[in-house]
Structure 1
């Protein structure tokens, strides 16, 4: 059955603290609601010095979501690894792993904005070295055994519940990222449809004699979705919210960095709409699209995008939970009853397989 998710960035064009509080509280409430209605994932990311209240601590926010839910997962894509203190991050993720029963997956990325490194007192030009140090420290710390760190012998507690360690991936769109994933034996997440990078990574895995574990954006680049009964009216009345985020976020793209949600150079609602990265669909349109792409299909709603009115955001969420998910479940049941293999059924979902490989046996010694 296709996977469904909600994305929250908390960014606002004018981040008044009172409005920001309403947005945070609405997101937490939506996550709790989604947990009871079959939504699979809450997606968070990390940015600093945005001026717009963009999500600055997805580990903390994700932990709050997981503490108030029972089954839904949180995916952080991505946490900016070199900006974190390695031992503190190891402890934070161990605590979240314990509280949530292993329901957080964190993609660690380098980031691409020098201002974020400056804000944290880190050297942007040393980000690769900082990432390698971070990964080395995390993997040592999560064993529970003492290890040497900055001249001291340390051991973190609590130990993670998930063995051998919490669910982490290496994210990025450069060959150096693929090499790092192979070197650390961690899964790779590619933030756009880049089959040549995926092939490069898989070749490296074959050379090393390890099984590839890679999650890549689908070829049709599904982007972020808002559900509405009348998309034309929604673009006319609410399109400014999608445009604001697309313009601001697109301006951050740097060099040859690739991400499915960066649209450099857009300046108007029609350009954003034409890009296909921010989309407004009816429930029927989404159901048909997911059926077309088969068992590996997924959709991520972005209900609070760009200061979207909270009541409109709730309408979008309800269309997902009250219309789309029941229809997908009915289709899935019918297909199973008829013994028909839907498109994509012959290939297990790579992301699901990666998570199972990472999680191992939760709670085992």
Structure 2
């Protein structure tokens, strides 16, 4: 598998009142923005999934990706992450097959187990099942992606003689990613030979994943590592960072609430100045952004890196200038350093 660097953007479609937009207008604006970014040569569009959040946090990413696929030619779509306990794996496999055909083979899938208690309550599931639902869901997806008829019998799911139709455009189905916040998550990803979405300092997830892949006789160089590490490209930090930082505080307030309700499980890293960890921002001119992102790519051995495109409460147009410089000035220099091409 090629290890060229891929760069892109992430969307959660959160729309608090501060944006002044209706949900319909936000969706329409983002659709237009993605078509524009596709033309600028970005490689990836990622989504996140959460449920029952007041500001409209995206609960269903595949329909959005399908709509975007009809407006784009090159970007690949994925999720960081699709919450597997809330998605029946056979239905998910079918939806991915349809999206793979609509997009011409431009879909990947990142999964995680979820942790927010209100989501499990909303779906009528005990939180205690999240591990078994995720592990069995991964097993089913792997079987479904073979394109063959299969049977499965587990604690949560049991099927006899099923086959996903239509078939996948991509041989072997969409590339599979698994999120890991801990060693247990890292081992889960390695068990199924998945690419990794490390959600914290590398010692907690990346290093155990690499070690387990090697122990199982798998080549880490044949796998990909992806992270959200956002970038605000600006020549005037004081002028532009304030609004984005406020929006990021809105984002983190929801994750902090999830974490408190779950007793400290899950969540993402907070806004940290001066420390290279996922989910934090690089803010500055082109030279600064290239330098900081390059150091981060080396530290984690990244193959895929995406930036939040529209922080909660901002409008797509508010981020347009930064995103254009990210696509035109930052991304090409990083590709030149680590491999990759906007025409690949």
TM-score (norm 1): 0.76
User: In 1, distance between residues paired with 2:266 and 2:118?
Assistant: 19
Q: Aligned partners of 1:190 and 1:326: how far apart in 2?
A: 24
For residue 28 of structure 1, the aligned residue among 26, 31, 56 is: 31
Say which of 119, 122, 141 aligns to 1:119: 122
2:233 counterpart of 1:227: yes
Worse overlay, 148-157 or 87-96: 148-157
From the superposition, tell whether residues 248 and 185 of structure 1 become closer, same or farther in structure 2 (CA, over 3 Å).
closer
Number of residues of Structure 1 aligned to a counterpart in Structure 2: 324
Of structures 1 and 2, the larger Rg is shown by 1
Cα offset, 1:142, TM superposition: 3.0
CA separation of 1:238 and 1:204: change in aligned 2, threshold 3 A = closer
Counterpart residue number, 1:158: 166
Cα drift, residue 238 of structure 1: 4.9
Q: Conserved in 2, the CA contact under 8 Å of 1:2 and 1:290?
A: no
- Secondary structure, counterpart of 2:80 in structure 1: strand
Cα 1:115–1:292 change in 2 (3 A) is: closer
Gap change, CA 1:151 and 1:2, over 3 Å in 2: closer
Deviation digits for residues 93-152 of structure 1 (CA, Å, limit 9, x no counterpart): 111112222222211100111211221222221111111221222222333333346465
The unaligned stretches of length 5 or more in structure 1 are 264-270, 333-341, 353-365
2:89–2:137 Cα contact (<8 Å) kept: yes
Pairwise mapping of residues 186-335 of structure 1 onto structure 2 (< 5 A)? 186-195=194-203, 197-212=205-220, 215-216=224-225, 223-253=229-259, 254=262, 257=265, 261-263=268-270, 277-290=280-293, 300-325=306-331, 332=336
RMSD: 3.2
Matches within 5 A, 1:125-140: 125-140=128-143
CA displacement at 1:90 relative to structure 2: 0.8
1:147 equivalent to 2:155? Answer: no
> CA 1:301–1:108 in 2, change beyond 3 Å: closer, same or farther?
closer
TM-fit CA distance, 1:316: 2.1
Q: Report if aligned partners of 2:44, 2:77 keep a CA contact under 8 Å in 1.
A: yes
Indicate the SS of the match to 2:232. strand
Q: For residues 184-227 of structure 1, give each alpha carbon's deviation from its aligned partner in whole angstroms, at most 9, with x where no partner exists.
A: 23333322232354333333334333333655568xxx832223
Alpha-carbon distance between aligned partners in 2 of 1:35 and 1:324, rounded to the nearest angstrom:
15
Q: String of CA shifts for 1:241-298, please: whole Å, max 9, x gaps.
A: 2322233333323556566x432xxxxxxx7667771343233422343466678676
- Cα 1:179–1:44 change in 2 (3 A) is same
The structure-2 alpha-carbon separation of the partners of 1:142 and 1:237, relative to structure 1 and needing over 3 Å to count, comes to closer
Equivalence for 2:178: 170
1:307 offset after TM fit, Å?
Answer: 1.5
Segment drifting more, 185-194 vs 46-55? 185-194
Moved more, 295-304 or 63-72: 295-304
Aligned mates of 2:243, 2:21 — CA distance in 1: 24
